[in-house]
Amino acid sequence: MNIALWIVQAVAGAGFVFSGWMKAFQYEKAKAAWPWAGDVPSGLVRGIGLAELVGAIGLIVPQATGIAPIWTPMAAIALALVVALGALFHIRRGEYKEIGVNIVFLALALFVAIGRIAL
Contact partners, residue 42, CB within 8 Å, separation at least 6? 27
How far is it, in rounded angstroms, from Cα 75 to Cα 113? 8
3-state secondary structure of 34: coil
Please check the confidence at residue 119 and state whether its pLDDT lies above 90: no
Quote the pLDDT of residue 116.
97
Quote the pLDDT of residue 86.
97
State which amino acid sits at residue 3: I
Q: Note the pTM of the prediction, 2 decimals.
A: 0.94
Cβ 93 vs Cβ 36: under 8 Å: yes
Cβ 44 vs Cβ 88: under 8 Å: no
State which amino acid sits at residue 32: A
Q: Structural domain boundaries of the chain?
A: 2-118
pLDDT digits (tens, 9 = 90+) for 46-91: 999 999 999 999 999 999 999 999 999 999 999 999 999 999 999 9
